[in-house]
Amino acid sequence: MARLSLLPRRKVAKGNQMKALNYGTGRDSKALKERFLQYFTFRTKQSGVIRGVVRDLIEGGIPREILMDWAVEAGYSKSYVASLLSHILVSQGLRQRAKGAGRKPSAAAQSLLAYSRRRYGKDFLNVLRAAGRLGMAELAAEKETKL
């Protein structure tokens, strides 16, 4: 029955269902959860301890979502928990998103790049930079004339 208290209330991702179910069977599982919640507030003083506990939990197969659920249920704000866990996991090389994740370049930018490569060869970047500076100067001149 003690195992049920360790599980989150929401659904766990498919790959982590068995890990989450089996997690509560270990003798150190409850102790790790308690240590995780105990050291969670000591961001600077005990950062080595919380990093170690998080590492042990992740290596034991507990996903980030369950760690977040535990901390939120203990009364911490979701944004604080997400930020702290992200900081800890990134420092351990466990990045959630791919490096450089962000906006994708527009189709117009890609076609302009392809055209400039074909037209100007290896000097395409210099031409594009010069065009960018020229465009910024034209915008600034337009603003001044409107004032």
118: Cα separation from own chain's centroid = 37
Q: Report the mean per-residue pLDDT for the chain.
A: 76
Which residues, other chains included, contact 42 with Cβ-Cβ below 8 Å and sequence gap of 6+?
Answer: 49, 50
> What is the C-alpha separation between 57 and 55, in angstroms, rounded?
5
Whether the Cβ atoms of residue 35 and residue 44 lie closer than 8 Å to each other: no
- DSSP letters for 58-85: HHTT--HHHHHHHHHHTT--HHHHHHHH
pLDDT score at 20: 46
Q: What is the pLDDT along the chain (147 residues), one digit of tens a residue?
A: 333 344 344 444 444 444 444 454 455 667 777 777 777 666 545 567 778 888 888 887 888 888 888 888 888 888 888 888 888 888 877 777 766 767 888 999 999 999 999 999 999 999 999 999 999 999 999 988 887
Q: Please give the pLDDT value at position 107.
A: 92
The overall pTM is greater than 0.85: no
pLDDT value, residue 93: 79
Tokens describing residue 19: 């890990």
pLDDT at 88: 84
DSSP-assigned letter for residue 13: P
Give yes or no for a contact between 128 and 113, defined as CB atoms under 8 angstroms apart: yes
Would you state the pLDDT for residue 129? 96
